């Protein structure tokens, strides 16, 4: 069981390294944003695996938070790339 | 108590002067002022019988008892003599100024406040036995002198002169303070009397010579000795009463007083004897030589003052030799100190009167330029008579008092050549020769001053005013002084018994136990033809010849390169060195660039810390209680390193921002791996927000600044950043490797539930054990929020009128 989890951790960390390569290299901003999103997901997995190893439920909050942040972050980047603005001004004012 | 209070009487009187000036404007304010010095003269005159017997009178008023600082009025022969000079000449100068300064055109209250301030300061200087209060009054003389020189503050030259004199005298005053402090450290007292009592022990102290030189620098700057005399000619922009009072009779003698006062302490030292006598002699020669170059009446007198002060100073230096001679009280060296005091009195009388005459000439003709003057003899007979008396006395001719003191000066100078200690036997021969040459020049400029002004044909029609004799009131003071010049010649021994001998006793207290023991009898004619007398004949003969041929060789002065003067050196130091070079220097490193300043700060911190680590041998590496490193941690660290390197070397800014976000997330992963869930949570949220904020800032960059450009490589910056990194690493390693005490976290672990009733130890620490920090971090956040709101909303333009 432990061996299996460690192997999983190593694989995920390696995938993070691959994603970081994409993040650094990524020819367009979109590549980088997708890489960042995927890093977020990989981090979620990592934290989950850690929680199993250290046998604690304290890190589950982090998993939820990461999921939310990763989502918001990706949305914000996407909106930025799409419209050049993140928070649109209220036109009625 | 009253004796100490008397020092402050002028200052108290000064308070009322604006009232007199504003409310009683029909009477010249000077008349009210005159009361003060006259009262002081009478008051100090009552001490004369007691002091001339050799007694000393001391009164003390505690000021800061815990530090041993008190106002002291210590009257012995020396300080009483100076007090009488200050108040006496003060009275005459005030009287003169009543006629000199116009009641309606001048701001008299200012003038008299400064003058009274000065009088108080001067009395304080000469009567203070406590070195700290002496310094206090010393600086007050500098300040009041500054105010008086700059009295006509709408003139450029007045302000320049005031600034120059203050720069030089205050610099000297500071040095003197240093000397005082060293002395008080050596002797553990501020009292000069107590220091004199322990003089023999002080000589062996290491600080002795340093204190000596510092105090001498104070005295030399104040008394306009070489090379610090340069402020005195520029101080001639002051009103003439000020020049007569401060820059001939009193303030410039404060340095003389200081040297005389400290002679019992320092005379043991060879350095003192040499410095004082050689500097004095050099000043004497220099001043007398360059006096002939001057075109301005007061300029001549200023250089003459410089030279005469040098004479007195060199006499004090020679007088200090008496400490080194067996049986000095019967030797020839006893004359020196006596002659110094005698000439000091004489100089105050004749120089005061000469300045007043210069002022009268200026006042009545409108010019002080000696080339425009001439032929005033028949128009201003009284002034001419006074000028003749003063000048002849200055030149050292009988029957005036200057003759007596010059004879004694020559006696002292000849005696030094016979002294075989401290190399005086070889170099000492120069002393009488230089003294003699300087006396010749003194003779010439005295004649130059009086005869070029009053005789000759002159062009009276071209003078700015039509000249006429001065009003009687203006002539009173110079006539009194000139009278003294003559009277003192005929009764020198009465003067000697009442004033000079007690003063000499104050300078040489180890030699005499009472003033009667000083067996010096002054006489114009000793009944025998001495070497001094031959020298005087020589002075007169050569002086006359040179004076008559003056027009031929005065041009020689133009040969001196005007660039190589001490004034130019001063201007260079002040205006080139300080103003320009220093400005340029600070311009070199104060570039206004934050990058520069950061690299100064970080670089110096790194260098200091690393150097300290190795100099103190504090660097240790030990991995005893370090945790094992897991393979996945290495990979995460690699990710972190790659993220950091990308941030630094990224080509575009947005890559940097994203890489920075990666670093932040990786850090939160570390928090997870090291079991800190709360930190990880916060870190994630904060990192997200700050990346968003970075993006916001990036988005609003002006288009032209968005140019994709790599950070340029600079060696110095790379060096600083590597140094800082090395520093942090070394400190962290060392700090980890040497722990003296364990952690206090066990306490929290044990009591988190039992005492605080919580399960989350981090949160309990934040709000319970150490909630105080949290409170203020909340405050920091609030301030930041309000600040951002204010910066966005409040848009004051530079005009400041729109909200």
What digits encode the pLDDT tens for the residues B485-501?
Answer: 888 888 888 888 888 88
Rg (CA), chain B: 38
| Contact predicate B265/B195, CB 8 Å | yes
Say yes or no for a CB contact (<8 Å) between A69 and B680. no
Give the residue among B4, B219, B246 at the shortest CA–CA distance from B146: B246
In this predicted structure, what is the pLDDT of residue B778? 96
> How far is it, in rounded angstroms, from Cα A71 to Cα B117?
81
Strand partners, B59: B73
- Helix, strand and coil in chain B, % to nearest 5: 75, 0, 25
Give the residue among B162, B142, B165, B139 at the shortest CA–CA distance from B150: B162
The mean pLDDT of B176-193, rounded to a whole number, is 90
The least confident of B169-173, B272-276, B470-474, B719-723 is B470-474
> How far is it, in rounded angstroms, from Cα A26 to Cα B652?
12
Distances in whole angstroms, Cα of residue B166 to Cα of each of B142, B221, B231: 6, 10, 8
Give the residue carrying structure tokens 């020589």: B538
Strand partners, B60: B72
> How far is it, in rounded angstroms, from Cα B232 to Cα B287?
11
* 3-state DSSP assignment of residue B114: helix
> How far is it, in rounded angstroms, from Cα B495 to Cα B315?
19
Q: Does A73 touch chain B (CB under 8 A)?
A: yes
Contacts of B703 (CB under 8 A, 6+ apart): none
Say yes or no for a CB contact (<8 Å) between A69 and B684. yes
| Helix H or strand E encompassing B64 | strand B57-64
Q: Does A54 touch chain B (CB under 8 A)?
A: yes
Contacts of B97 (CB under 8 A, 6+ apart): B30, B111, B115, B239, B241
Rg (CA), chain A: 17
pLDDT digits (tens, 9 = 90+) for B147-160: 999 998 898 989 99
Say yes or no for a CB contact (<8 Å) between B680 and A24. no
> How far is it, in rounded angstroms, from Cα B98 to Cα B100?
6
Say yes or no for a CB contact (<8 Å) between A58 and B677. yes
- Looking at the partner chain, which of B669, B677, B699 has a beta carbon nearest the beta carbon of A61? B677
Distances in whole angstroms, Cα of residue B625 to Cα of each of B341, B369, B620, B743, B744: 83, 91, 14, 14, 17
- Alpha-carbon gap: B724 to the closest alpha carbon of chain A (Å): 26
Q: Does B692 touch chain A (CB under 8 A)?
A: yes
Strand partners, B236: none
> How far is it, in rounded angstroms, from Cα B479 to Cα B485?
10
Quick one: residue B549, left, alpha or beta (phi over 0 = left, psi -120 to 50 = alpha)? alpha
Say yes or no for a CB contact (<8 Å) between B642 and A39. no
> How far is it, in rounded angstroms, from Cα B14 to Cα B8?
10
What would the two tokens of residue B238 be? Answer: 């002051």
pLDDT digits (tens, 9 = 90+) for B366-389: 888 888 887 788 888 888 888 999
> How far is it, in rounded angstroms, from Cα B732 to Cα B738?
10
> How far is it, in rounded angstroms, from Cα B428 to Cα B436?
13
In this predicted structure, what is the pLDDT of residue B803? 46
In this predicted structure, what is the pLDDT of residue B424? 59
Give the residue among A36, A19, A49, A83 at the shortest CA–CA distance from B632: A49
| A&B contacts, CB < 8 Å | 84
In this predicted structure, what is the pLDDT of residue B524? 55
A72 contacts in chain B (CB < 8 Å): 688
Say yes or no for a CB contact (<8 Å) between B681 and A86. no
| Helix H or strand E encompassing B279 | helix B270-291
Q: What is the DSSP string of B556-569?
A: GGGGS-TTSSHHHH
The mean pLDDT of B506-533, rounded to a whole number, is 71
The share of chain B scoring above pLDDT 90, in percent, equals 21
pLDDT digits (tens, 9 = 90+) for B709-739: 666 778 888 889 999 999 999 999 888 888 7
pLDDT digits (tens, 9 = 90+) for A49-66: 888 888 888 788 888 888
Distances in whole angstroms, Cα of residue B177 to Cα of each of B134, B174, B196, B541, B640: 9, 5, 18, 46, 61
Say yes or no for a CB contact (<8 Å) between B681 and A39. no
> How far is it, in rounded angstroms, from Cα B403 to Cα B393?
6
Q: Does A13 touch chain B (CB under 8 A)?
A: yes
Quick one: residue B639, left, alpha or beta (phi over 0 = left, psi -120 to 50 = alpha)? alpha
CB atoms within 10 A of CB B772: 8
Q: What is the ipTM of this complex?
A: 0.74
Residue B57 dihedral angles phi and psi, to the nearest 5°: -120, 130
A30 contacts in chain B (CB < 8 Å): none
Say yes or no for a CB contact (<8 Å) between A85 and B699. yes
Give the residue carrying structure tokens 């672990």: B749
What would the two tokens of residue B161 be? Answer: 């002169």
Mean pLDDT, chain B, rounded, equals 85
- Alpha-carbon gap: A90 to the closest alpha carbon of chain B (Å): 17
> How far is it, in rounded angstroms, from Cα B216 to Cα B180?
11
Q: Does A48 touch chain B (CB under 8 A)?
A: no
Give the residue among B457, B452, B478, B454 at the shortest CA–CA distance from B292: B452
- pLDDT > 50? residue A93: no
For chain A, the distance separating the N- and C-terminal CA atoms, rounded to the nearest angstrom, is 60
Say yes or no for a CB contact (<8 Å) between A24 and B654. no
Quick one: residue B592, left, alpha or beta (phi over 0 = left, psi -120 to 50 = alpha)? left
Nearest CA in chain B to A27: B655
Contacts of B492 (CB under 8 A, 6+ apart): B342, B401, B404, B522, B523, B524
Q: What's the pLDDT band for B24 if we cut at 50, 70, 90?
A: confident
- Give which of B632, B634, B708 to mutate to test A binding, by max A Cβ within 10 Å: B632
Q: Does B658 touch chain A (CB under 8 A)?
A: yes
pLDDT digits (tens, 9 = 90+) for B245-287: 888 778 889 999 999 999 888 888 888 888 888 899 899 998 8
Pairing of strands B69-75, B57-64: antiparallel
Say yes or no for a CB contact (<8 Å) between B632 and A24. no
CB atoms within 10 A of CB B382: 17
> How far is it, in rounded angstroms, from Cα B756 to Cα A66?
31
Q: Does B696 touch chain A (CB under 8 A)?
A: yes
- Helix, strand and coil in chain A, % to nearest 5: 80, 0, 20
Q: Does B681 touch chain A (CB under 8 A)?
A: yes
pTM for this predicted structure = 0.81
- Give which of B636, B663, B692, B792 to mutate to test A binding, by max A Cβ within 10 Å: B692
């Amino acid at each position: 069981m432990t061996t299996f989890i460690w192997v999983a951790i190593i694989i995920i960390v390696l995938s993070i390294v691959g994603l970081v390569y994409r993040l650094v290299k990524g020819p367009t901003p979109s590549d980088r944003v997708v890489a960042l999103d995927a890093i977020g997901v990989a981090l979620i997995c990592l934290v989950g695996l850690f929680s199993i190893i250290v046998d604690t439920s304290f890190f589950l909050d982090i998993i939820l938070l990461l999921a939310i942040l990763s989502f918001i972050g990706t949305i914000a980047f996407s909106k930025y790339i799409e419209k050049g603005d993140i928070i649109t001004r209220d036109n009625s004012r | 108590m009253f004796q100490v209070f008397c020092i402050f009487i002028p200052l108290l009187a000064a308070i009322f002067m604006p009232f007199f000036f504003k409310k009683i404007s029909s009477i010249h304010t000077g008349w009210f002022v005159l009361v003060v010095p006259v009262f002081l003269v009478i008051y100090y005159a009552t001490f004369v019988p007691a002091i001339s017997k050799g007694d000393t009178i001391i009164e003390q008023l505690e000021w800061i008892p815990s530090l041993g600082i008190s106002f002291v009025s210590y009257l012995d022969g020396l300080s009483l003599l100076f007090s009488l000079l200050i108040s006496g000449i003060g009275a005459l100068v005030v009287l003169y100024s009543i006629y000199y300064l116009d009641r309606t055109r001048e701001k008299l209250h200012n003038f008299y406040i400064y003058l009274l301030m000065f009088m108080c300061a001067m009395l304080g200087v000469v009567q203070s036995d406590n070195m700290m209060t002496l310094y206090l009054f010393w600086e007050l003389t500098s300040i009041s002198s500054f105010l008086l020189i700059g009295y006509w503050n709408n003139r450029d030259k007045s302000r320049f002169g005031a600034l120059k004199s203050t720069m030089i005298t205050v610099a000297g005053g500071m040095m003197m303070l240093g000397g005082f402090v060293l002395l008080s450290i050596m002797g553990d007292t501020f009292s000069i009397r107590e220091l004199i009592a322990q003089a023999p022990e002080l000589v062996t102290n290491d600080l002795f010579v340093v204190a000596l030189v510092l105090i001498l620098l104070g005295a030399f700057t104040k008394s306009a000795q070489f090379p610090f005399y340069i402020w005195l000619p520029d101080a001639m922009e002051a009103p003439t009463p000020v020049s007569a009072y401060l820059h001939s009779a009193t303030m410039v003698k404060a340095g003389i007083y200081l040297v005389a006062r400290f002679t019992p302490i320092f005379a043991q030292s060879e350095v003192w004897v040499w410095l004082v006598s050689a500097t004095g002699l050099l000043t004497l020669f220099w001043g007398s030589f360059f006096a002939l170059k001057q075109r301005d009446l007061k300029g001549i007198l200023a250089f003459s003052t410089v030279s005469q002060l040098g004479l007195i100073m060199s006499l004090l230096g020679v007088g200090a030799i008496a400490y080194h001679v067996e049986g000095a009280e019967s030797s020839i060296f006893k004359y020196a100190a006596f002659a110094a005091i005698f000439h000091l009195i004489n100089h105050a009388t004749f120089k005061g009167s000469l300045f007043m005459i210069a002022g009268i000439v200026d006042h009545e003709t409108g010019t002080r330029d000696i080339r425009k003057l001439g032929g005033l003899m028949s128009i201003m007979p009284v002034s001419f008579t006074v000028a003749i008396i003063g000048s002849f006395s200055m030149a050292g001719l009988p029957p005036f008092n200057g003759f007596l003191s010059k004879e004694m000066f020559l006696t002292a100078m000849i005696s030094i050549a016979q002294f075989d200690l401290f190399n005086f036997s070889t170099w000492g021969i120069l002393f009488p020769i230089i003294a003699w040459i300087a006396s010749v020049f003194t003779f010439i400029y005295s004649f130059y001053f009086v005869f070029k002004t009053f005789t000759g044909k002159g062009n009276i029609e071209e003078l700015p005013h039509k000249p006429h004799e001065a009003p009687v009131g203006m002539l009173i003071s110079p006539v009194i002084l000139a009278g003294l010049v003559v009277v003192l010649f005929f009764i020198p021994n009465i003067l000697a018994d009442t004033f000079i001998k007690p003063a000499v006793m104050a300078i040489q207290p180890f030699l005499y136990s009472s003033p009667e023991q000083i067996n010096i009898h002054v006489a114009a004619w000793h009944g025998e033809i001495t070497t001094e007398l031959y020298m005087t004949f020589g002075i007169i003969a050569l002086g006359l010849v040179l004076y008559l041929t003056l027009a031929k060789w005065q041009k020689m002065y133009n040969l001196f390169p005007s660039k190589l003067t001490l004034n130019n050196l001063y201007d260079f130091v002040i205006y080139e060195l300080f103003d320009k070079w220093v400005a340029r220097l600070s311009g070199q490193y104060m570039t206004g660039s934050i990058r520069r300043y950061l690299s100064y700060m970080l670089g110096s911190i790194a260098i200091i810390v690393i150097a300290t680590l190795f100099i103190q041998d504090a660097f240790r590496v030990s991995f005893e209680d370090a945790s094992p490193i897991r393979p996945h941690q290495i990979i995460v660290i690699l990710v972190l390193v790659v993220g950091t390197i990308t941030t630094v070397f990224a080509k575009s800014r947005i890559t940097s921002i994203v890489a920075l976000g990666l670093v932040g997330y990786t850090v939160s992963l570390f928090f997870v791996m090291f079991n800190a869930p709360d930190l990880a949570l916060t870190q994630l949220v904060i990192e997200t927000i700050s990346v968003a904020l970075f993006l916001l800032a990036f988005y609003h960059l002006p288009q032209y600044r968005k140019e994709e450009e790599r950070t340029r490589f600079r060696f110095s910056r790379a060096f600083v950043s590597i140094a800082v990194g090395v520093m942090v690493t070394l400190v962290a390693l060392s700090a980890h490797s040497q722990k003296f005490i364990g952690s206090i976290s066990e306490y929290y672990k044990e009591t988190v539930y039992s005492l605080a009733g919580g399960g989350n130890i981090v949160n309990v620490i934040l709000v319970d054990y150490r909630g105080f920090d949290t409170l203020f971090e909340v405050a920091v956040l609030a301030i930041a929020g309000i600040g951002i709101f204010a910066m966005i909303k409040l848009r004051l333009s530079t005009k400041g009128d729109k909200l």
